[in-house]
Amino acid sequence: MLTPDKPDGEISFVAIQQTVEPFGDNEYQMKFAGIETKDVSGLTVRKDLTLWIFALGGFIFMVGVAQGSYWNHRRIWIRRNENEIWVAAHTNKNWYGLKKEISFVLEGSGIGEPKDQLQEEK
Amino acid sequence: MASLSSNLLLVAFILYLVAIPFFGGAIRQKKGLEEIKSYDKWAKIGITITIIGFISQLGFFITRWAVAGHAPLSNLFEYTTFFGMCFVLAFIIIYFIYRTSILGLFVLPIVLLIIAYASMFPREISPLIPALQSYWLQIHVSTVALGEAILAISFGAALIYLVKAIDHTKRSKSTFWLEVIMYSIVSVMGFVAVTSTFAITDYKATYNYINKSDKEDTVEYRMPALIGPHEWEVVDKGTFEPLVEMPAIINAKKLNTVVWSLMVGLGLYIVIRLALRKRIGAALQPLTKNIKLDLVDEISYRSVLIGFPVFTLGGLVFAMIWAQIAWTRFWGWDPKEVWALITWLFYAAFLHLRLAKGWHGEKSAWLAVIGFAIIMFNLIAVNLVIAGLHSYAG
């Protein structure tokens, strides 16, 4: 404990509730007066209340993408128009398989197989 | 048990190799009633051998799991061989949907390369780091590998499409880029060749250098250093002196390996070109004679369609759930996460362009090739070159 009067310093051990001055001849005294506490911790606690929205969104997306990817529909229309027979088909998956099926159905029936105009360009 | 495990992998490797000529035999047959039967026979033998190979590799996976006590999905070797296994599984599934032998002829060599590539990395069974100790490891990693493998099938089909559809008689952008693909594949062979050569001759060279944080460090090269690290200095006299020096931020050792692979790949490529006297693509074209373009296009599209939801589930949904549990954030812009997102967006774009803009055929085939390149980039470059939470031992 250095003061302007005593440049060499005086010895004093200050602790909570007790102050020890080993030589007992100190001119100045230092004491523990009290503390004010503030509760602080280094940990951060986070709580994300929107997680369920993400989970729901992910779930809906998965249902949608699975439906879009794995469910298929296909239909073939056959219509008589005077002396002609019109054949048309639509599918969302496996066009190649649909073409094979049409040719299987029409085989030997005398009806010409519909031509894929996209393939013919090449 | 551990040696049994690696023998099973070797057996699988050999079986895949043996299966290729059978698929080759299956497509060489000409049409005609008599030959259709033998056509079926060749393909049947091919697919049977492939399935036995797959079972053998599954045996490798299971025995290794038993030895290690955790799913063998924790380092680059294990993940990449697993990816190869899923690739074969995806091929088997697609084969039974469409019965196309030619797909085997293109896919199995790629699988062989993937397994050979994986074997160049440390193969020891190691304990699991704490961050990976969760059953989500199995769920997340295996689903991602499966999804990526199914997506990769579309690359195989796209390659067939391109080889067949491109006009090989004159030089064009398409033939150039097709040769770039061929060269990349050959470079992987180059990597395997150069790594195993220097591993057999047990080449070692140690250099002192100054690392990123300005500290002195040493590095051990396993192949002659063409590219030296930052301010290198040879340790033993008589060591080969690097030709070029790299700044500290670049991992010179890995760059050196890349340069070696590309050079040896180029050498191999030139030899192949000289032997064939035409572009590799042009040489492969006769193999694709009997396949219909719209069928390969369909296979390519179908495999993306099957693979995309699986990849979404594994690479995004499960990944986010695990990240939330392990790191309390479901998304952290880790390089691997970012590249998984890029892959996902790319394939989403692939599907949308196909449905909305009518990008069928050749355009779609090129997209499938780019998609595979992204997957490979994510597997190789992001693991080895860019540091992140997902870079495991390599």
Average pLDDT over residues B335-346: 91
A107 in any annotated domain: yes
Clarify whether residues B269 and B356 are in a common domain.
Answer: no
Residue B345 CA to its chain's centroid (Å): 20
CA quadruple B61, B67, B71, B74: dihedral, nearest 10: -100
B158 with B34, same domain: the answer is yes
Q: Is residue B321 part of a domain?
A: yes
- Does B394 fall in a domain? no
**Structural domain total, chain A:** 2
* Least confident interval from B127-131, B186-190, B377-381: B127-131
A49 within a domain of the structure (yes/no) = no
Residue that finishes a domain, picked among B277, B309, B338: B277
Q: What is the ipTM metric for this complex?
A: 0.74
- Asked if residue B392 belongs to a domain, the reply is no
B133 and B187 inside one domain: no
DSSP H or E run through B310: helix B293-311
Contact B130, B295 (CB under 8 A): no
Q: Is residue A62 part of a domain?
A: no
* CB spacing of B292 vs A96 below 8 angstroms: yes
pLDDT of residue B394: 38
**Residue at A4 is within a domain:** yes
Is B390 a member of any domain? Answer: no
> Are residue B233 and residue B287 in the same domain, yes or no?
no
- Binary contact (B305, A69; C-beta < 8 A): yes
Model confidence over B65-78: pLDDT tens digits?
A: 888 888 888 888 88
Is the domain of B282 the same as that of B375? yes
Q: B153 and B245: one domain?
A: no
Nearest CA-CA distance, residue A110 and chain B, Å: 23
Whole-model pTM: value is: 0.81
Residue B361 included in any domain: yes
| Whether B156 contacts B88, CB under 8 Å | no
Question: Do B242 and B119 share a domain, yes or no?
Answer: no
Whose CA is closest to B166, among B151, B176, B155?
B176
How confident is the model at residue B372, as a pLDDT? 94
State the pLDDT at residue B51: 95
Domains identified in chain B, total number = 2
User: What ranges make up the beta strands (E) of chain B?
Assistant: 205-210, 216-221, 227-228, 233-234, 244-245
Which residue in chain A has the smallest CA separation from B355?
A92
**Within-domain flag for B393:** no
The residue type found at B328 is T
CA A104 from centre of chain: 47
**Alpha carbon distance B176, B218 (integer Å):** 42
Q: Is residue B391 part of a domain?
A: no
Q: A37 lies in a domain?
A: no
In angstroms, what separates the C-alpha of A63 from chain B's closest C-alpha? 9
Q: What is the mean pLDDT of chain A?
A: 82
Map residue B157 onto helix, strand or coil.
helix
Domain extent for B205: 169-277
Q: What is the mean pLDDT of residues A9-22?
A: 82
DSSP state letters, A72-111: --EEEEEEEETTEEEEEEEESS-HHHHHHHHHHHHTTTTP
Same domain, B11 and B70: yes
Please report which confidence band the pLDDT of residue B113 belongs to, taking 50, 70 and 90 as the band edges.
Answer: very high
Render pLDDT for B260-302 as a digit per residue (tens, 0 to 9): 889 999 999 999 999 988 888 888 888 888 788 888 898 999 8
Q: Are residues B308 and B267 in the same domain?
A: no
- Say if the Cβ atoms of A54 and B294 lie within 8 Å: no
- How many CB atoms neighbour CB A76 within 10 A? 15
Here the tokens at position B252 are: 């010179």
Same domain, B252 and B300: no
Q: Is B50 in the same domain as B163?
A: yes
Same domain as B229, residue B302: no
Q: Distance from first CA to last CA of chain B, Å, rounded?
A: 24
pLDDT at position B114 is 92
Which of B277, B309, B342 finishes a domain?
A: B277
* A47 domain-assigned: no
Mutate to test the interface with B, among A65, A92, A101 (most CBs of B within 10 A): A65
| Residue A59 included in any domain | no
Residue A40 lies in a domain: no
CB contact (8 A) between residue A95 and residue B313: no
- Residues A118, B360: Cα–Cα separation, whole Å: 10
Last residue of a domain, one of B251, B277, B303: B277
**Maximum Cα–Cα distance for chain A, whole Å?**
130
Residues above pLDDT 90, as percent of chain A = 8
Quote the domain boundaries for residue A21.
1-32
Q: How many CB pairs under 8 A join A and B?
A: 41
